[in-house]
Structure 1
């Protein structure tokens, strides 16, 4: 008895629509990463922490705006807002970075991402921009709230509003540097493991375990060591940069070494980004 095969036409057709290419893939990955940063499109549990942090930052901004409206001489600049929330941003970055990259490593989806047309560099750029934007929004939106509160309650008219604008722009620029530094360090550490708990612990350790070294160096008898103490920890490094570039008060005397803080901050961000690119190029080649 012979067996015969039957071919069934189930309607599969070739895709004939537009092929959007790499730019669309990068944009889709960026948007997905930014949405994931705040738990959008995910479970209610995933939304709790990011929106709790966002709520705290907005609440602090509203309180500061209310105080400034009642006490015109109250001095609290926009750049100081970033420094005052540094510990909160550390934990936000420690949760966000593993969620953006460690999950992809654990689930084994990287080979799918790196199939054409998306490249390893495109993946890194999309994730980097998504996390940078998420942290910047966390710092920038409250500053805008503070600005609106000050602008609508100023008694100096247009000159008062212009003064607030001149304070706001450096504050937003400082927030960009904060976002870049936290993103570069956070993503680099998270890219080394597929376990989110290990990645989060590593990120927190890098920021917190280096802080005591700053305290030790700041009390040494050497004046030069005191001035350079902030270079040891990413937290005090970025605060030192803000003190040099924007005149914020961080309790550390930088002396004449302020430019060194700016140079190291730039080099650290660039080095982490390049190492991140090298890391994913190696993964894509496997």
Structure 2
């Protein structure tokens, strides 16, 4: 009978005996990685080109507005109006960032690795959503802070700085509304496909192709249809909420063609809440389905 020839080698393997950080730290790591991903940090130079180009544009506009105000002595754009004017850039930023956050993971098939750890199924999409909301809020909020600092240095005493701060805070909240709505819609669309090009095209299509619907509804003979037309597009929905809640901070020129909401301002706010809640619910359901495969 031949003797056994197998040999057991001691390769120095040791069990992990350090602290196990748990769910909160896993969620935090996903969130932080997501924020870095939206700006291309930790990735190739090519991945940084578009997000930092957008950042450069919004900061340049903010610097120009600040410089003009310093020269003429009056504001040419409120903080809330700045968020409105940069909304078209936010659309394209979401179209690039959202697929980077979720479509790459779907295509590469790494989700089973995430869910093999003690990570609840809801934490992955919520961490990605929170990361995208943060990135969009920073994209719109940081230039507003630059505008505030420029205005504060030229303000007439502390009273002027305080008044400027009272104008800034609603602008930051309005930027948060843009971020929440756009991130919810964009991430839901991106989660439906692992192909980044398809996801980006779908996001741009949803935001831009709904705008003509608003235009059609706004010229109908019915006044009610005109006042509710903004509900047909995420962009005009957010603007409707802003018109209702911010008033003079968003409408500085009554002759500028601002849409008439009539008495439907609360309807716009409710529609925004329903849209965000629906997108989040569908996003969670999507990842429950992915995890079950």
Smaller-chain TM-score bracket: over 0.9
- Residues 189-229 of structure 1 show CA distances to partners (whole Å, capped at 9, x for unaligned) of 00000000000000000000000011111111111111111
Corresponding residue for residue 181 of structure 2: 181
Question: What is the alpha-carbon distance in structure 1 between the residues aligned to residue 80 and residue 14 of structure 2?
Answer: 57
Q: Kindly state the Cα deviation for residue 73 of structure 1 after the two structures are TM-superposed.
A: 3.1
Question: What is the alpha-carbon distance in structure 2 between the residues aligned to residue 263 and residue 269 of structure 1?
Answer: 10
For the pair 1:284 / 2:291, whether they are aligned, the reply is yes
User: 1:165-176 counterparts in 2 under 5 A?
Assistant: 165-176=165-176
Corresponding residue for residue 147 of structure 1: 148
Other structure's SS at 1:8 match: coil
Corresponding residue for residue 229 of structure 1: 229
Structure 2, gaps ≥5 residues long: 252-256
Question: What is the alpha-carbon distance in structure 1 between the residues aligned to residue 62 and residue 77 of structure 2?
Answer: 11
Other structure's SS at 1:57 match: helix
User: 1:59-78 counterparts in 2 under 5 A?
Assistant: 59-78=60-79
Q: Kindly state the Cα deviation for residue 171 of structure 1 after the two structures are TM-superposed.
A: 0.3
Question: What is the alpha-carbon distance in structure 1 between the residues aligned to residue 246 and residue 121 of structure 2?
Answer: 36
Contact between 2:68 and 2:76, CA under 8 Å: does it hold in 1?
Answer: no
Corresponding residue for residue 193 of structure 1: 193
Question: What is the alpha-carbon distance in structure 2 between the residues aligned to residue 241 and residue 70 of structure 1?
Answer: 33
Question: What is the alpha-carbon distance in structure 1 between the residues aligned to residue 67 and residue 106 of structure 2?
Answer: 45
Instruction: Count how many residue pairs are aligned between Structure 1 and Structure 2.
Output: 285
Q: Kindly state the Cα deviation for residue 230 of structure 1 after the two structures are TM-superposed.
A: 0.5
For the pair 1:239 / 2:246, whether they are aligned, the reply is no
Question: What is the alpha-carbon distance in structure 2 between the residues aligned to residue 125 and residue 215 of structure 1?
Answer: 34
Q: Kindly state the Cα deviation for residue 2 of structure 1 after the two structures are TM-superposed.
A: 4.8
Q: Kindly state the Cα deviation for residue 3 of structure 1 after the two structures are TM-superposed.
A: 5.0
1:256 to 238, 248, 263: 263
Question: What is the alpha-carbon distance in structure 1 between the residues aligned to residue 273 and residue 168 of structure 2?
Answer: 22
Question: What is the alpha-carbon distance in structure 1 between the residues aligned to residue 261 and residue 233 of structure 2?
Answer: 14
User: 1:22-33 counterparts in 2 under 5 A?
Assistant: 22-33=23-34
- Residues 97-117 of structure 1 show CA distances to partners (whole Å, capped at 9, x for unaligned) of 000000000000000111121
Structure 1, gaps ≥5 residues long: none
Other structure's SS at 2:14 match: coil
Other structure's SS at 1:119 match: coil
Corresponding residue for residue 265 of structure 1: 272
Question: What is the alpha-carbon distance in structure 1 between the residues aligned to residue 117 and residue 7 of structure 2?
Answer: 34
Q: State the TM-score, normalizing by the size of structure 2.
A: 0.95
Q: Kindly state the Cα deviation for residue 71 of structure 1 after the two structures are TM-superposed.
A: 1.9
